Amino acid sequence: MDKLLLGRYIPGHSWIHQLDPRTKLMASFYYIGIVFLANNWQTYLMMFVATLFMIWLSGIRIGFFLRGVRPLIWLILFTVALQVLFVRGGMVYWHWGWLWITKLGLINGAFIFVRFVLIIFMSTLLTLTTQPLSLADAVESLLKPLRVIRVPVTELALVLQIALRFVPTLMDQTTKIMNAQRARGVDFGEGNIFQQMKAVVPLLIPLFVSSFTTADELATAMEARGYQGGDDRTKYRILRYHQRDWIAAAGMAVLTGLLLLLRAY
Amino acid sequence: MSFTYQAGTPFAGDGIKDVSGTIHDGSYTAIIGHTGSGKSTILQHLNALLKPTSGTVTIGDKVITNETNNKNLKPLRQKVGMVFQFAENQLFEQTVAKDIAFGPQNFGVSEKDALALADKMVAMVGLPHDVLEKSPFDLSGGQMRRVAIAGVLAMQPEVLVLDEPTAGLDPAGRHEMMTMFERLHREQGQTIVLVTHQMDDVADYADTVWVMAEGRLIKTGTPREIFSDPAWLKANQLGLPKTAQMAQQLIAKGFHFDPRPLTETELADQLLPQIGGGQHG
Amino acid sequence: MGNVIRVQHLNYTYPEAKHQALTDVSFDVAKGEWLAIIGHNGSGKSTLAKNLNGLLAPESGTVEVAGMTLSEETVWDIRAKVGIVFQNPDNQFVGATVADDVAFGLENRGVPRDEMVKRVDESLERVGMTAFADREPARLSGGQKQRVAIAGIIAQRPEIIILDESTSMLDPAGRQEVLGVIRELKDELNLTVLSITHDIDEAAVAHRIILLNDGKINEIGTPSDIFAHGTDLLRLGLDVPYSEKLKDALIQRGVAMPKAYLDNERLVDYLWTLHSTM
């Protein structure tokens, strides 16, 4: 579980790593948006090459990105199958009842597949090259305008930061309690679904109890250190845009231009 | 009943390397070593929460190796009762009685018999009978710890493994707790393995000491053997029991002790002839 | 030297509790003093600490800290003057990294960023944690986490540090580490230290000790005064200094020993005198 949540970040000093987290966050969303503009093999090919280029810039092995695809592979194949079997057009290769395999269906299926892969690669690139904490900072900074409509952005960011901070502590606590209960004869992950649910109770209740204690003590400590909430707080962490961030933005603009151009075909 | 322990290659992080030793039936073994020396890793091997990467752990007639199947570990876990650090964190049932009965029931004891055991164990850990029907979460920290220990004792383990059982307790609580284990050991012949930083407890209660450093078992012996070499202990970042410290200061002033005393009673006895105490009668 | 803390007739009862947690507690603390508060678990030690900076509001009585009387108006100013190092190293670590955690209190007070960076660096330097500035708490030992907590406090330039059983969850090395840092800082920054503890060795280094029992002050005195009670302390759920235990064992064997408290060194000297006059 630890690996799933936090272990994804791969420390490095590549060009991508050094981008401002806000840039990376915005660029990823933007990129995922423009992937949907691709509509023919030229545009898909271009986006594919652009993605590979960014992966190359990050200095991270392609294997890590392929691993990102694995958990979603059934969803992807299911969607692709729907496209292939239900979209009709062009030459017919096979047909049975309402199921058709046509040229258009195959092409659409292939496009959907590439689109999925590109989106997964891009979001994987974001999480592999950005620390969760930096992402939290980026979210806070980008959401700041919402303070005008009274969204408690600073508080939400602190909540997010503390949550991230306590993930390893909670994992540690979980392991300890699991060990203690295994030593008392509990089999985790064995038996039928009912037995497994029963085994979770001796884990969850102590975990809740200790989380409440932690929350309570943490609140006391925060109050003792002068935490009152509100917007008068100053920030120790600050984010600054650098030249490379403008280059990244320009890169995205060029990509969009080319995409629109090639779409016209 | 004995533990034989042989582990070869370390696993990543705070592993243990090539540890071989035996814990005898009826002994009171203390495992000492500074934080990160591999003490808790050893503990988790004692009831197969971890399996050795290489080598074997023998518990009674059961041999555990890397290949041992997880399915057959239950009888073994019943034999080795583990009291982890801050054991009160494992409590979860609605009543103290149910929580203590939880362990035995997992090992096939009927609910009725398990509750009878709870009744007996609550007295053994020095809690009043009326806590049985209370929620464990309404008790004080020290009482909760005792309930957790009663829950382990109720499994009627052949070996009781204690990981820093007195951490966070006040001096009176610490003393009561250690006396309770001593009684179990003396009166019922309970085999005990104690992991601790409290050298005074090692000197007062243990009969065998394992010293761990950097994942290796670097010395075994009686407390007297271990604590008779202050320079060696210091080199391994370990402290002396208070009596041994005092003896050390007295030796520097020209006093003689043979053997080196471990408790204040022994120290007082040996001091008596050296300060003319005999004359006063 | 003036008093930096003055507590008069302080009473406190927890909501829904049957018994008072603190009853008529009065004492003064001089600036620059090291005061230990000892007592068994549940004797009211931590409740007392929380009343000193308004984490709990006294039921009656007054608390004056650094010339201010504790009230709703002064509570945040008082908290700036009083730092507490709590017992559990993990549950007071707010920041995602060491530097972030030290900065937390400064952020709360709206300290400008340039000043903040300066104070964070300086405080980490003082507790010897500069090399760990970017580390996450999960990769620190208990002693290191407590040193970070101390850095977070001194960054706020307080007058008083309260150690609320801050060493009780640490191993002996961690304990030494934390007490060593406090001893140095106390002199360098002219701090007043209140250490709530049941570690007898920690109490022994204090100038004075308050002995708390069931929410009442049993006695205030120098360590010698308090430790002279010898094995009577056991009845209050406390430990006895080793030298007193040995003295007691010798008295039982018919050796005439002085009534006053002797620490280890003085006991050794005393025994040596007996030894050489034999």
Q: What is the mean pLDDT of residues B46-58?
A: 84
Asked if C161 and C219 sit in the same domain, the reply is yes
Minimal-distance CA residue of chain A relative to C99: A236
Q: What is the mean pLDDT of residues C214-240?
A: 90
Query: If pLDDT is split at 50, 70 and 90, which confidence band does C222 have?
Result: very high
pLDDT digits (tens, 9 = 90+) for C91-149: 999 998 999 999 999 999 999 999 999 999 999 999 999 999 999 898 899 999 999 99
Q: Take residue B99 and report the two structure tokens written for it.
A: 């929580």
Where residue B21 sits, what CATH number does that domain have? 3.40.50.300
Query: If pLDDT is split at 50, 70 and 90, which confidence band does A5 have?
Result: very low
**Measured distance CA(C2)–CA(C64) in Å, rounded:** 12
* pLDDT of res. B194: 96
Asked if B202 and B248 sit in the same domain, the reply is no
Q: Take residue B181 and report the two structure tokens written for it.
A: 């284990």
Asked if B42 and B25 sit in the same domain, the reply is yes
Does C17 fall in a domain? no
Strands B159-163 and B80-83: parallel
Does B281 fall in a domain? no
Query: Is A14 an 8 Å CB contact of chain C?
Result: no
Asked if C204 and C152 sit in the same domain, the reply is yes
**Measured distance CA(B226)–CA(C156) in Å, rounded:** 46
Q: What is the mean pLDDT of residues C247-270?
A: 90
Does B258 fall in a domain? yes
Question: In which residue are the tokens 């060029």 written?
Answer: A254
pLDDT of residue B57 exceeding 70? yes
* pLDDT of res. B215: 85
Structural domain count of chain C: 2
Q: What is the ipTM of this complex?
A: 0.91
Asked if C223 and C95 sit in the same domain, the reply is yes
pLDDT digits (tens, 9 = 90+) for C35-62: 999 998 888 999 999 999 999 999 999 9
Q: Do C40 and B172 touch (CB under 8 A)?
A: yes
Residue A233: CB partners within 8 Å, gap ≥ 6?
Answer: A154, C107, C108, C110
Q: Do B49 and A183 touch (CB under 8 A)?
A: yes
pTM: 0.87
Pick the residue with more confidence: C236 or A34? A34
Query: Is A61 an 8 Å CB contact of chain C?
Result: no
C165 is catalytic: yes
Of B171, B269, B276, the CB nearest to C238: B171
Asked if C177 and C119 sit in the same domain, the reply is yes
Asked if C169 and C193 sit in the same domain, the reply is yes
Where residue C197 sits, what CATH number does that domain have? 3.40.50.300
Going B40 to B43 to B47 to B52, the CA torsion angle's sign is positive
Question: In which residue are the tokens 């509570």 written?
Answer: C75
* pLDDT of res. B3: 59
Does B279 fall in a domain? no
Q: Do B237 and C168 touch (CB under 8 A)?
A: no
Does C82 fall in a domain? yes
Distance in Å, alpha carbon of B20 to nearest chain A alpha carbon: 23
**Measured distance CA(B245)–CA(B247) in Å, rounded:** 5
* Contacts of the segment B18-22: beta carbons below 8 A, 24+ positions apart: B18/B55, B18/B216, B19/B215, B19/B216, B19/B217, B20/B217, B21/B210, B21/B217, B21/B220
Of C79, C92, C138, the CB nearest to A226: C79
Distance in Å, alpha carbon of B265 to nearest chain C alpha carbon: 6
Does B280 fall in a domain? no
Domain hosting C173: range is 29-43+72-240
* pLDDT of res. B277: 65
Q: Do C79 and A221 touch (CB under 8 A)?
A: no
Q: Do B106 and A206 touch (CB under 8 A)?
A: no
Asked if C83 and C207 sit in the same domain, the reply is yes
Asked if B249 and B227 sit in the same domain, the reply is no
Of C88, C92, C100, the CB nearest to A237: C100
Going C45 to C47 to C51 to C55, the CA torsion angle's sign is positive
pLDDT of residue B139 exceeding 90? yes
Asked if B250 and B217 sit in the same domain, the reply is no
Interface test with A, best of C65, C108, C120 (most A CBs within 10 A): C108
Asked if C207 and C135 sit in the same domain, the reply is yes
pLDDT of residue B4 exceeding 80? no
Of C255, C264, C278, the CB nearest to B249: C264
Minimal-distance CA residue of chain C relative to A172: C138
Asked if C153 and C273 sit in the same domain, the reply is no
Asked if C261 and C180 sit in the same domain, the reply is no
Distance in Å, alpha carbon of C218 to nearest chain A alpha carbon: 28
Structural domain count of chain B: 2
Does C213 fall in a domain? yes
Pick the residue with more confidence: A5 or C24? C24
Chains in touch with A (3+ beta-carbon pairs under 8 Å) read: B, C
Asked if C160 and C270 sit in the same domain, the reply is no
Does C9 fall in a domain? no
Q: How many residues does chain A have?
A: 265
* pLDDT of res. B15: 72
Asked if C109 and C235 sit in the same domain, the reply is yes
Identity at A192, one-letter amino acid code = N
* pLDDT of res. B10: 46
Does C156 fall in a domain? yes
Of A224, A232, A233, the CB nearest to C55: A224
DSSP codes of every residue in chain B:
-EEEEEE-SPPSSS---S-EEEEETT-EEEEE--TTSSHHHHHHHHTTSS--SSEEEEETTEEE-TT--GGGGHHHHHHEEEE-TTGGGG--SSSHHHHHHHHHHHTT--HHHHHHHHHHHHHHTT--GGGGGS-GGGS-HHHHHHHHHHHHHTT--SEEEEESTTTT--HHHHHHHHHHHHHHHHHH--EEEEE-S-HHHHHHH-SEEEEEETTEEEEEE-HHHHHT-HHHHHHTT----HHHHHHHHHHHTT---SSPP-SHHHHHHHHGGGGTHHHH-
Q: Which residues of A touch C116 (CB under 8 A)?
A: 234, 236
Query: Is A224 an 8 Å CB contact of chain C?
Result: yes
Q: Do A202 and B89 touch (CB under 8 A)?
A: no
- Region of poorest pLDDT, from A18-22, B14-18, B257-261: B14-18
pLDDT of residue A48 exceeding 70? yes
Report domain extents, chain A: 2-130+240-263, 143-224
**Measured distance CA(A35)–CA(A252) in Å, rounded:** 12
pLDDT digits (tens, 9 = 90+) for B71-80: 778 888 899 9
Asked if B53 and B91 sit in the same domain, the reply is yes
Catalytic-role residue among C33, C159, C165, C202: C165
Does C76 fall in a domain? yes
Asked if B257 and B139 sit in the same domain, the reply is no
Q: How far is CA B8 from CA A190, B16, B58, C258, in A?
A: 30, 8, 15, 57
Does C90 fall in a domain? yes
Query: If pLDDT is split at 50, 70 and 90, which confidence band does A4 have?
Result: very low
Distance in Å, alpha carbon of A194 to nearest chain B alpha carbon: 15
**Measured distance CA(B52)–CA(B6) in Å, rounded:** 8
| Contact residues, A window 168-187, toward B, CB-based 8 Å cutoff | 173, 176-177, 179-187
Asked if B66 and B189 sit in the same domain, the reply is yes
DSSP codes of every residue in C120-189:
HHHHHHHTT-GGGTT--GGGS-HHHHHHHHHHHHHTT--SEEEEESTTTTS-HHHHHHHHHHHHHHHHHH
* pLDDT of res. B278: 52
Minimal-distance CA residue of chain C relative to B252: C268
Domain hosting B270: range is 241-274
In which order are the strands placed within the sheet that holds B208-213?
Answer: B80-83, B159-163, B191-195, B28-32, B208-213, B216-221
Asked if C249 and C234 sit in the same domain, the reply is no
Helix (H) and strand (E) counts for chain C?
A: 11, 10
Does C11 fall in a domain? no
Of C80, C83, C91, the CB nearest to A214: C91
* pLDDT of res. A214: 93
Interface test with A, best of C46, C104, C157, C161 (most A CBs within 10 A): C104
Q: Take residue A244 and report the two structure tokens written for it.
A: 């490379």
Minimal-distance CA residue of chain B relative to A191: B71
Angle at C49 between CA C45 and CA C51, to 5 degrees: 115
Size of interface B-C (CB pairs under 8 A): 101
Burial of C101-136, coded b for 16+ CB within 10 Å and e otherwise, reads: bbbbbbbbbebeeeebbebbeebbebbebbebbeeb
Q: Which residues of B touch A177 (CB under 8 A)?
A: 89-90
Helices marked H in chain A: 2-5, 21-35, 41-58, 62-69, 73-86, 103-129, 132-143, 153-183, 193-224, 243-263
Chains in touch with B (3+ beta-carbon pairs under 8 Å) read: A, C
Q: How far is CA C231 from CA A193, B14, C223, in A?
A: 58, 42, 14
Minimal-distance CA residue of chain A relative to C97: A165
**Measured distance CA(C179)–CA(B105) in Å, rounded:** 46
pLDDT of residue C21 exceeding 60? yes
pLDDT digits (tens, 9 = 90+) for B220-259: 999 999 999 889 998 888 889 999 999 999 999 989 998 8
Q: Do C278 and B276 touch (CB under 8 A)?
A: yes
Q: Which residues of A touch B59 (CB under 8 A)?
A: none
